[in-house]
Amino acid sequence: MFFNLKLKDYFFLSIFSLLPVTILIGPAISLINILLITLSFLVIFYKKLFFYILNERIIIILCILYSYLIFNTFISIDFESSFLRNFGFIRYIILFIAINFFFLNFENLKFIINFWIFVIFVVLFDVIFEAYNGYNILGFVSENKKRIVSFFKDQQVIGAFINGFVFVIIGFLFRNFDKKAKFQKVLIFSFVLVTLMCLILTGERSNTIKLFLGLIIFFYLNNKITFNYKIFFLFSGLCIFIFIITISGEVRHRYNNDIIIKLSNIEKRNNYIYFQLYKSGFEVFKRYPILGAGNKNYRVEACKKSDDEDKKILCITHPHQIYLELLSEHGIIGTLIILIILFYLIFKNLKIILKKNNSIQIGCFSYLIVNFIPILPGGSFFADFNSNFFWINLSLLYASSPNTNVFKRLSN
């Protein structure tokens, strides 16, 4: 290998391995961990490597995205709201480079994913524990009995957390699936189905749908999984869903009363919170159609109470839908810039990924794609919590194969 990092391996393996743990602890700790990764990586940068990276097309494209975000700061309706989010985005570019750098050696990635598997196992156990007992293993209780908080105490985002790491893990487990023993295949499918069960139990409908659709994409693209196994997964997943909504009143209420009844009733549908949020996002977009209100500025516009017209908009942090968030905060021009760049980065190596049948990359690809499903609600795309998952998966989409890793030429 071109880079000799033996003296630093243990340090970087530790801080990469702890990514899911720090996210569970809280946003401040996860931010410190990512800053530690990026700053430590910059410390070992040297001139030759720096100029090599600047000549890489992918890095140049990421720098174009960053330049746009800086521009967006200065045209925002509130400079201070956009400043930290946009200028701080540089850490994800450095994280992308750092992950490619250290995971060119697959053994490093193998060690880290094995630790992530352990963390996810603990989280899945905690979800089941809370679903049965009403509180998690640390004693945290959800204010909404139809939702599970697990280790996040007062935030109902455990489903998003699981999705953020489980596609990488599933891709790792399905490596060389056709060569595995039948017992190993049963264990792997059991893990996938238990994960799906836990997502259903969380009460997070959108993340459950994203997991299910993401798994369908994963199985469809992975040609080392036979058709019979794919049908088995689809049938088993549907059976688990039907079983859980049958035995769990809280889950049944989430999917029956909260969706089916409201969507079939015009009066209730108009009062459905997500319809109101989407209308609010579109209303802000109509006010700033070209360049948007500015990153993280939806909340500024939404919470103004200057006249009666503002009552059309809910005072909330973001419209809970990725396209409406982009349109309201970045306008048509900014949304096109962001989507073109992101879709280019996601689809650029798809032919290579499918040809090599790299299941980790297929897993990352599946996760990234489901983030852009229309209509489905979700967290703020540029918020730290969701950005962490997106950029970890995008980084591993490139880093987990020498055929796509941005440092591949230096390793030869």
Residue-wise pLDDT for 321-341, tens only, equals 999 999 999 999 999 999 999
Q: CB-based contacts of 250: which residues, under 8 Å, 6+ apart?
A: 145, 146, 203
State CA 11 to chain mean position distance.
25
103-134 pLDDT, tens per residue?
A: 887 777 888 999 999 999 999 999 999 988 98
Whether residue 275 is contained in a domain is answered as no
Q: Provide the b/e sequence for 18-32 (b: ≥16 CB within 10 Å).
A: bbbbbbbeeeeebbe
Whether residue 53 is contained in a domain is answered as yes
How far apart (Å, rounded) are the C-alpha atoms in residues 250 and 80?
41
Whether residue 289 is contained in a domain is answered as no
For residue 294, give the nearest of 73, 66, 67, 65 by alpha carbon: 73
For residue 113, give the nearest of 370, 390, 351, 359 by alpha carbon: 359
Is the full-model pTM beyond 0.75?
yes
Number of residues that make up the chain: 412
Q: What is the pLDDT along the chain (412 residues), one digit of tens a residue?
A: 444 456 677 888 889 999 999 999 999 999 999 999 999 888 876 655 666 676 788 999 999 999 999 999 999 999 998 999 999 999 999 999 999 988 887 777 888 999 999 999 999 999 999 988 989 999 999 888 778 999 998 888 999 999 999 999 999 999 988 888 889 999 999 999 999 999 999 988 899 999 999 999 999 999 888 888 889 888 888 888 888 877 776 666 666 655 544 444 544 445 467 778 888 888 899 999 999 999 999 888 888 765 545 467 778 888 889 999 999 999 999 999 999 999 999 999 999 999 999 999 999 999 999 999 988 888 899 999 999 999 999 999 999 998 999 887 555 4
Q: End-to-end CA distance of the chain, in Å?
A: 8
What is the per-residue pLDDT for 375?
A: 85
What is the per-residue pLDDT for 260?
A: 47
Q: CB-based contacts of 212: which residues, under 8 Å, 6+ apart?
A: 196, 237
Whether residue 302 is contained in a domain is answered as no
Please, are residues 158 and 211 in contact by the beta-carbon 8 Å criterion? no
Neighbours of 333 (CB within 10 A): 13
For residue 396, give the nearest of 167, 195, 220, 212 by alpha carbon: 167
Report the amino acid identity of residue 361.
Q
Kindly state the tokens that stand for 281: 């996002």
Whether residue 229 is contained in a domain is answered as yes
User: Looking at the 3D structure of the chain, how many domains does it have?
Assistant: 1
Whether residue 279 is contained in a domain is answered as no
Q: Is the dihedral of CA 120, 96, 377, 208 positive or negative?
A: negative
What is the per-residue pLDDT for 6?
A: 64
Range of the domain at 243: 6-267+313-411
Whether residue 272 is contained in a domain is answered as no
Whether residue 292 is contained in a domain is answered as no
